Structure 1
Amino acid sequence: MAIEIRQFPCLKDNYGFLIRDRSSGLTASIDTPDAAEINRQLDNAGWRLTHILNTHWHPDHAGGNIALKKKWGCEIIGPRAEADKIPSIDCEVGDDDIVNLGRSEAKVFDTPGHTLGHIIYHFADDGAAFVGDTVFALGCGRLCEGTPAQMWNSLQKIIALPPETKLYCAHEYTQANAKFALSIDPENKNLKERANEIDKMRLANKPTVPTVLSLELETNPFLRAGNEQLQNAINMNNAGAVESFAKIRALKDVF
């Protein structure tokens, strides 16, 4: 891999990610949920922060921008559509833009839904996508600002990535997501097996992130909204994928 990834828990249920281009030593923080913990991780690794790549404006994703920029003088890159909400942003990016980190590069995708300007970063050569709050292991982000149609369209961009892509989600929500998924997709054998494995992982205090896209395509109800069996289970027979997705999201919101 061209990039080295350091993952760590912070705040209540967030994950922080530091990525380092091996050839140049340039180092980025994917979002800034906890500046103090990010600094501790940098010190432990002996890395110097040169970039911040924000996915969206929420405080648990951009709240550490100012403190980290003050300490490191790093360049802050973030969504063009939320530039007015991203603290100390230097570079605005959006759909199909390329972000370079030394010899490593990430393609940016606009993924509105959780927020209207949410973006993700796909490092194709490393098979890694940093997806913020657009998709979670067995879940997806709440529609804080966007519509079901917007989020479904955003998820299609993730579904179209290579199936072996590792998805680095920003929160440890998987065990709760599994319980919901089983409530609406109880006949999914792959899901039942995965839920059992997740319980074992969490009991051992192991992270369930990153996940792999191929696994999500088999078990994540939000990515399976067009599946006929799942549509029947939620009484959305003959409905479109967007309508079924909206029903699944509404059910999860009150689960």
Structure 2
Amino acid sequence: MLSVTPIPAFGDNYIWLLRQDADTAVCVVDPGDADPVIQTLERENLTLGSVLITHHHQDHVGGLPELIRRYSPRVIGPHNPKIAGIDERVGEGDTCRVMGRRFEVMEVPGHTLDHIAFFTAGIPPLLFCGDTLFSGGCGRLFEGTPEQMYHSLQRLAELPDDTLVFAAHEYTLANLRFASAADPHNPDVATALANTERARELDRPTLPSHLGRERRINPFLRCAAPEVRSAAAAHGDTDSDQATFATLRAWKNHF
């Protein structure tokens, strides 16, 4: 049985910890900070067997040097030579076996050009998507184009409804406040926002989300919805789904 738990870092990052049954060798995803990972491993008498990396930003790779020094884990990540310490560089169509599960690699550029996601089918399916897809939102475009990010999100949206979405940041509350403006008559957004507000008041994580839920509440996955296009039209071009996405992303940048 594979369990996934969050290790909080930097105030709003989640470093995801994967553990298989009673095995003491675990995996972490995007360890931007080594200290909370080390503290968790020592507190629970675990060791680090593997690391998954989605992209090169420092808040996702900053802890790698210290973790490699202490534990010598197997590190799997994108084809970006700027990321030191990767043992297995993977890209579109590659697979890797981690914690007893077969993970498929998807290239999802937009936030960065090297961004990849890791998906494993099963009960339930699991998606580790870094900063591409958030609950209620998506990542900023630091290197890629709106076209790239739109197509990356469309690919992720084709995964099964019951896929658990393990994004790397606790941005849900801010995202859903934007969704309330971008999709103002959507009752699913209103319900999700109320539930998220309660969860955050109790300092509870809002992740993982379900992909089926994201299709209902995430405006960046609802660019074809007339109500989303109508709201976005005041902020830019909405002549196509892709244009609507670009307008939404620019609007969100200044929301």
Identity %: 36
Counterparts of 1:179 and 1:23 in 2: how far apart (Å)? Answer: 40
Whether the 8 Å contact between 2:232 and 2:238 is mirrored in structure 1 is no
Larger displacement relative to structure 2 (234-243 or 100-109): 234-243
After TM superposition, list the pairs within 5 Å mapping 1:220-231 onto structure 2: 220-231=218-229
What is residue 87 of structure 1 aligned with on the other side? 84
Q: Is 1:200 the equivalent of 2:230? A: no
How much does 1:169 deviate?
0.7
Shift, 1:102, TM fit? 4.5
Q: Is the 8 A contact 1:77 1:92 kept in 2?
A: yes
- Count of aligned positions: 252
Show the counterpart of 2:56.
57
Tell me the equivalent position of 2:30.
Answer: 31
Q: Aligned match of 1:114 in 102, 111, 121?
A: 111
Partners in 2 of 1:193 and 1:5 — Cα distance? 25
Contact 1:148 1:245 (C-alpha < 8 Å) held by counterparts: yes
TM-score (norm. length: structure 1): 0.94
What residue in structure 2 maps to residue 128 of structure 1?
A: 126
| SS at structure 1 position matched to 2:143 | coil
* Structure 1, gaps ≥5 residues long: none
- With over 3 angstroms needed to count, the CA separation of the structure-2 counterparts of 1:90 and 1:237, relative to structure 1, is closer
Q: How does 1:105-254 map to 2 (within 5 A)?
A: 105-125=102-122, 126-235=124-233, 239-254=239-254
> Do the aligned partners of residues 86 and 113 (structure 1) sit closer, same or farther apart at CA in structure 2, a change above 3 Å counting?
same
Secondary structure in 1 aligned to 2:119? strand
Runs of 4+ in 1 over 6 A off after TM superposition: none
Q: Which residue of 1 aligns with 2:45?
A: 46
- Show structure 2 runs of 5+ residues with no match: none
Distance 1:177 1:200 in 2: 15
What is the identity, as a one-letter code, of the residue corresponding to 2:104? K
Asked if structure 1 preserves the Cα contact closer than 8 Å seen for 2:237 and 2:243, the reply is no
State whether residues 114 and 141 of structure 1, in contact with CA within 8 Å, keep that contact through their aligned partners in structure 2. Answer: yes
Q: Which digits, 9 at most, give the CA deviation of each residue in 1:17-58, with x for residues without a partner?
A: 111233865421101121010011112222210111100000
Aligned-pair RMSD on alpha carbons? 1.5
- The reply to whether residue 4 of structure 1 matches residue 3 of structure 2 is yes
Aligned-partner SS, 1:49? strand
Alpha-carbon distance in 2 for matches of 1:118, 1:110? 6
Q: CA deviation at 1:5?
A: 1.4
Cα distance in structure 2, aligned partners of 1:29 and 1:234: 38
Cα distance in 2 between the residues matched to 1:123 and 1:69: 25
Q: 1:138 to 1:102 in 2, by over 3 A?
A: closer
Hey, what does 1:74 align to over in structure 2?
Answer: 73
- Structure-2 separation of matches of 1:45 and 1:101: 20
CA deviation after TM superposition for structure 1 residue 143, in Å: 0.3
